[in-house]
Structure 1
Amino acid sequence: MSLSRAPRRSRSTSGRALLLTAVTLASALTLTACDDSSSKSSGSAGGNYVTGPSGISTVAAGDRTEAPKLDGPTVDGKTLDTTTLKGKVVVLNVWGSWCPPCRAEAPYFAQVSKELGDAGKDVAFVGINTRDNSTQNAAAFEQNFGITYPSLYDPDGKLMLRFPKGTLNAQSIPSTIVLDKQGRIAARTLAAINDKQLRSMIDPLLAEQ
């Protein structure tokens, strides 16, 4: 009696399968290095956020809550208190030099901050640098990407904990929150964004009276 043999897979087929598996795993590790939001709920502060198709969430003027005071040392060795910025639209960007998506969006933040600054718009950009072991890495990041606005140095994420529950997800880096001229939380995103998305968060608030 003859026994049938299972068809043998060619070395090239097996090699391609292993390569595909390795690439898939590497991609997954890259994403989770900066963002575990897929496995953790980001919540919402009071249920007031309305999320659009771009993933950017906004809050109607009547439903906005006051942003917390953010103060302390900056990456460049100075100090900053965000409550002094009331009267301006304030863009708060949470980032880390270790985070690939932060590096991807940094040129857009550098570009838009300079465009609006050169245009004399009432906008202030403030970074919140988190989970960097030293200010040297953070300062090098800012220099490499042409970031000229200040960043609060928050290696332990303590400043992020000041926000209302559900506003930020500590595992979602980068994140961006935009405050209206009265210092209230008006828009947020828990992912990297480009210049057009960033302007879509800022421009409507500049138009508000």
Structure 2
Amino acid sequence: MSLSRALVRRRSRSTSGRALLLTAVTVAGVMTLTSCSDADGGSKPSNSSGGNYVTGAGGISRVAKGERADAPRLDGATVDGKTLDTATLKGKVVVLNVWGSWCPPCRGEAKYFAKVSKEMTDAGQDVAFVGINTRDNSTQNAVNFEQDYGITYPSLYDPDGKLMLRFPKGTLNPQAIPSTIVLDKEGKIAARTLVAINEEQLRSMIDPLLAEK
């Protein structure tokens, strides 16, 4: 083999290696973005799931009453070793919050979920809060998170994200961590946000549904 051909082959291998490394870095960056959303509640997520909904202020998407899709049944073990089935909550507004103890925006919004859930429960309002804990490699991490932030409602343990995949395509499904989805009293998907939210935004997702007849 001539010296010139050997140099060409070495350069080709080097270029291919750099291309593979760049691809790996790019993919890792995309996975990071979808794994944990920005803490800014005012950012607007992309409307990639389709469906007849409108995304308004704070990145909150809403569906008109007559156009809502049924939410999937979510059931299984909770982080504290009990069991839960969301089918038993029909007749109440249900707030589903997807979170992980490793997620900074989840930690930022946790105090608002703790406060609003306690106040609404104490007031006897027809609302139930359910967490979906995902990508935590042990329930102990999740339990510690709940204790640290005063979360008293149950959270389904979903380390592999299988429960999130039960949501039908073309609906307001969870696409990021954190995500919050609110179901109306008929168990239909009424609102969603893919970013961390504050108390005012959380109440704005719940109150209109409590008022529905």
* 1:132 aligned onto 2:147: no
Query: CA offset at residue 44 of structure 1?
Result: 2.7
Cα distance in 1 between the residues matched to 2:62 and 2:97: 16
Q: What is the letter of the counterpart of residue 101 of structure 1?
A: P
- Equivalenced residues, count: 177
Equivalent pair of 2:68/2:190 in contact (CA under 8 Å): yes
User: Which 5+ residue runs of structure 2 have no aligned equivalent?
Assistant: 1-28
* 1:34 aligned onto 2:36: yes
Cα distance in 1 between the residues matched to 2:208 and 2:76: 29
Q: What is the letter of the counterpart of residue 168 of structure 1?
A: N
Equivalent pair of 1:90/1:181 in contact (CA under 8 Å): yes
Query: CA offset at residue 101 of structure 1?
Result: 0.1
- In structure 2, the residue matched to 1:9 is none
1:79 pairs, out of 55, 62, 83, with 83
1:43 pairs, out of 33, 36, 48, with 48
Cα distance in 2 between the residues matched to 1:169 and 1:74: 19
Query: CA offset at residue 49 of structure 1?
Result: 1.4
Partner SS, residue 115 of structure 1: helix
Cα distance in 2 between the residues matched to 1:49 and 1:68: 18
Equivalent pair of 1:94/1:176 in contact (CA under 8 Å): yes
- In structure 1, the residue matched to 2:9 is none
Query: CA offset at residue 169 of structure 1?
Result: 4.6
Provide the TM-score with structure 2 as the length reference. Answer: 0.79
Q: What is the letter of the counterpart of residue 35 of structure 1?
A: S
Equivalent pair of 2:182/2:190 in contact (CA under 8 Å): yes
Partner SS, residue 54 of structure 1: helix
User: Which 5+ residue runs of structure 1 have no aligned equivalent?
Assistant: 1-27
Greater helix share, 1 or 2? 2
- In structure 2, the residue matched to 1:151 is 155
Provide the TM-score with structure 1 as the length reference. Answer: 0.80
- In structure 2, the residue matched to 1:189 is 193
What is the percentage of aligned positions where both structures have the same residue?
A: 77
1:176 pairs, out of 174, 177, 180, with 180
Query: CA offset at residue 41 of structure 1?
Result: 5.1
